[in-house]
Structure 1
């Protein structure tokens, strides 16, 4: 990949706007690989996984069975990570409802030597039946490209297997080994926990889902920092187990003692803003009381209880840093869950409250992010995806400065897309929004989420949405900049975008042609492979047809200069052939290209170009000449 293409996006538009989401230190592909490496290091190998690997290595496809909660999806990712290094990328297939007439599993999603995960563990009957019918044909293309696929099967459909593919069942990993690996990976030395392993055994003997085991380990580490490392490993384990098992009941026991609406509002607000400063919690509590219709304290200001005293009544405290936190680990999450599940009528006013609180000056950017993520988690826990989608639309309406709300929409959508259960629905929504004409604010949110979140595990889906957004921009801007930046990271993404530009059947040909001209500096091997060479020719032809010479000529000169730099070889010949073939022997186009070449490139390349033009025109006129009939004598 040439350095000029890597930096090309910097000159497409002006300075980049302030980011809504924090930029990653690495490109999405590297982030995905790092996540797999970390998972592999903390993974406890279950029975059957070695046999599953043997099938995957030999057949390029393996179907995984297993009990729910046994860590099937993690096992699938580890299997793909353990394959020998290849040029392919790791990505996850999402069997989303396709457009009419298109496949659920599109073969063009398969890259050379890719490693792919198809997690069907949460699919419904309709999706299962559709994917079931298409997988054999999909696998045929997969084998042709030397790619690998692991399919996690839904437990409820195990009696309807794929008859022509190999199945393997994996057992449940050793939960204690999983905990130990996780602790070691996070720097907890063996001496700290070796004498206290019995503390966890009773809980692990109940066979909790492996996802809960991972959360338990995180809570142990959180308890350690919560306790400022002053307790023992046994203390941290007891606090972590209590956070998982006892906090819901503690919240249920506390609520009847809070008879006033103000006390309950303070509990809920403190739980939503856990870690924020006290004045922010106080202001947000006042807003919540207004939204739910509760009366505020009518006593004179100096006769009211202080915030610290009121917080102590809801098991919270305000530290020396003036930030509000709960005394018990996991209490804030349990309080949020209790209100959401047991008082469903409070959900609508909480949504209104959220919009107001986001604008409070007392909140930091981190406070807002945490608040939006917590609210998103609560909505997802009850399957309320409609409300979340409505918030994204509402917070991104065109209007006055709405920085806090636009940023909140980005955090909300990014969190929702990562959901295992509902992520596919939000990916569908982003596709719909991107293909239409979103507001400027919504476009900015979609660009950020696609480039920084969706791109990690669903790079092809991110590319498609960024392409739609770039087409629909009133003028080239943030979406095009992000798209070019994204595809510059990997030649396969460039190949896929080039294919879309050359073959898409849409009303956006002019926009696609303009995008191609910004994208025309490509890896050298694209010029020598028949498929990409055809796509390049089609794109140049589209540019000549739909744009004036003032637009395409500078790009053509750059193309010629690049060909000149590589010398007189196969690459330069291919570059000239593509330009000349794309012109379809139109004299004005060829004349402008040749005139520019004589001024900007070497005499040798100019002569080579002239020979190529003459050869093409001779062939063109030969095809047009009628065959002379010879009259019989």
Structure 2
């Protein structure tokens, strides 16, 4: 209980110090909700209204639910987000739901809906099972949606749109005008119209080819990056030329280069350079023979003094040493094309490349950004071929019990972070993290999972992140990083506190009851309005009852005492009375519990609250006496 306003609340954690967040991933400067809000603000600034969006808005406003369809690349998900944020609202918040198969959070619980919420349900990548489950739950979910005057925008999988029940209305979002999209993106980067109007002919030709919306956004980023190199009249045309050159698909150039590189060490240098693009030249030099060894090449190396110099060998693969002694290809984006071409055309190199990755992470010549980049590149290569198992295997290998806390543990966190943020395969990663969280992960893996849930998954999938953090905290051998992270996480948002309280109170698995009871004692101070809602009051009663049943008095007594101290400090009679009723109702007229609670209260709270507590206890016991045999009341002395 507290008197703080907003979504952030102080917590009474029974004098347990919450440890600082670990540093496997960069700690966000803002809470996940604020990060998501800033992303929405940026999206609205860059969004060009497509044909059909006004009709979709009318359906959403009138029916509180709309399904959006459109061609791939038309920006359906972005349109859904903007529609929801354009709705007038006073109380509710915007949030995204993530129904998943193979986990306990597969359905759409109606209690996720708050008053006047605006909710996105993106099922564009859902398989048949996930789609069927969502459809089954949507009727009950929509009933609660209407009751709470909330709104829902759904992006269905295109292959199942024809099977949509008649009660739901489908609206088509067409591709927005590419010129308007470009203009909005340029303005969002503080480029005035006078700088880029009229658009150069080469840029107009590119727009007429109907590139996907994501490619347009990336093109603007390249234009903005190029503006620092050229200034003056006509500079924008040169920025565009540089950006369009970088945007060019260089696969053919790689395909033409590869046959000229007949020796294994040449191809190893090409792949190592592509993977470590932008790293120091010494790192590429040491990484190349490691890769050659992993692929078991039979090339006979010449004595060192008879070999070509590194710069000469780099020139052979169209690369060079750039300022700062870093290795780069001569053509922009050649590194990405080389990685993808070699991955696709040399499949026998894929497994050795994963082993090589673990070894080069130990190179002293690599700094942390270099390591993060090469892990991201390898992750993207695996995902480009629809392969996640090698990534999961690396995570498990790098976080095994006998592995020290090294760069490999941090690299495992980066793999999972990249995975959960990836639109197409994010569900696969969330399911695997769920499976790990309900087992007994190693200490290193637990720390990685905690970091990924708290700092990455939480931004767009807050409820799934909560579920996994809860399981990790339940399964810790002793309170540690998972419990600390769970406390930090729910502290940010009353909605998450409510979800966790419901999970603690309604768990059907007796295996977790003792752990949940102990966990509740570290989270037993909630916002005041929780005490005045019927559902949350009952959950609090159930949790305290579980505590009194399963936890030793020396453990629960400080929590009960702190609960009463907080109630004594609240200048709100209904809240104070509710706090007393919850605690007494949970004790269920058990004399030893009530006696200990009252004895501690006399030493910790005001005489007025002690008297009110005694009165509440006596009323409860009198009610109990009317139903069962008489028992002694708690004596005021």
Higher relative contact order (CA 8 A, sep 6+): 2
| Alpha-carbon separation, structure 1, partners of 2:305 and 2:591 | 89
Change (3 A) 1:131 1:607: closer
Correspondence list, 1:79-98, <5 A? 79-98=83-102
Change (3 A) 1:334 1:504: same
- Tell me whether 290-299 or 496-505 shows the greater mean CA deviation: 290-299
CA displacement 1:45-80 (0-9 Å, x = unmatched): 101112211221222111112112111111111112
Cα RMSD over matched residues?
2.1
2:58 matches 1:59 = no
Change (3 A) 1:239 1:261: farther
| Alpha-carbon separation, structure 1, partners of 2:616 and 2:389 | 59
| Alpha-carbon separation, structure 1, partners of 2:488 and 2:533 | 24
Partner SS, residue 152 of structure 2: strand
- Measured after TM superposition, the shift of residue 217 of structure 1 is 2.1
- Tell me whether 137-146 or 509-518 shows the greater mean CA deviation: 137-146
2:511 matches 1:511 = no
How many equivalent residue pairs? 624
Correspondence list, 1:105-504, <5 A? 105-224=108-227, 227=229, 232-295=235-298, 298-504=301-507
| Alpha-carbon separation, structure 2, partners of 1:72 and 1:5 | 36
Output the TM-score relative to the length of structure 2. Answer: 0.93
Contact in 1 for aligned 2:67/2:169 (Cα 8 Å): yes
Change (3 A) 1:197 1:8: farther
2:561 matches 1:536 = no
2:525 alignment partner in structure 1 = 521
Contact in 2 for aligned 1:16/1:478 (Cα 8 Å): no
Change (3 A) 1:437 1:356: same
- Measured after TM superposition, the shift of residue 163 of structure 1 is 0.8
- Measured after TM superposition, the shift of residue 249 of structure 1 is 1.2
- Measured after TM superposition, the shift of residue 262 of structure 1 is 1.5
CA displacement 1:100-158 (0-9 Å, x = unmatched): 9x863333333333322122223333433333333222211222232221111333333
- Tell me whether 371-380 or 250-259 shows the greater mean CA deviation: 250-259
| Alpha-carbon separation, structure 2, partners of 1:462 and 1:539 | 22
| Alpha-carbon separation, structure 2, partners of 1:583 and 1:30 | 40
Contact in 2 for aligned 1:10/1:481 (Cα 8 Å): no
Correspondence list, 1:569-588, <5 A? 569-588=573-592
- Tell me whether 47-56 or 187-196 shows the greater mean CA deviation: 187-196
2:621 alignment partner in structure 1 = 617
| Alpha-carbon separation, structure 1, partners of 2:221 and 2:557 | 58
Partner SS, residue 150 of structure 1: strand
| Alpha-carbon separation, structure 1, partners of 2:103 and 2:370 | 39
| 4+ runs deviating over 4 angstroms | 1-5, 7-11, 227-231
Partner SS, residue 468 of structure 1: helix
| Alpha-carbon separation, structure 2, partners of 1:481 and 1:10 | 13
Partner SS, residue 564 of structure 1: helix
Partner SS, residue 444 of structure 1: helix
| Alpha-carbon separation, structure 2, partners of 1:567 and 1:126 | 51
- Measured after TM superposition, the shift of residue 479 of structure 1 is 0.5
Contact in 1 for aligned 2:361/2:407 (Cα 8 Å): yes
Contact in 1 for aligned 2:14/2:558 (Cα 8 Å): no
Partner SS, residue 508 of structure 1: helix
1:32 to 32, 36, 42: 36
- Tell me whether 306-315 or 346-355 shows the greater mean CA deviation: 306-315
Gaps of 5+ in 1: 627-633
| Alpha-carbon separation, structure 1, partners of 2:215 and 2:392 | 28
Partner SS, residue 159 of structure 1: helix
1:20 alignment partner in structure 2 = 24
Output the TM-score relative to the length of structure 1. Answer: 0.94
1:545 alignment partner in structure 2 = 549
- Measured after TM superposition, the shift of residue 21 of structure 1 is 0.4
- Measured after TM superposition, the shift of residue 535 of structure 1 is 0.8
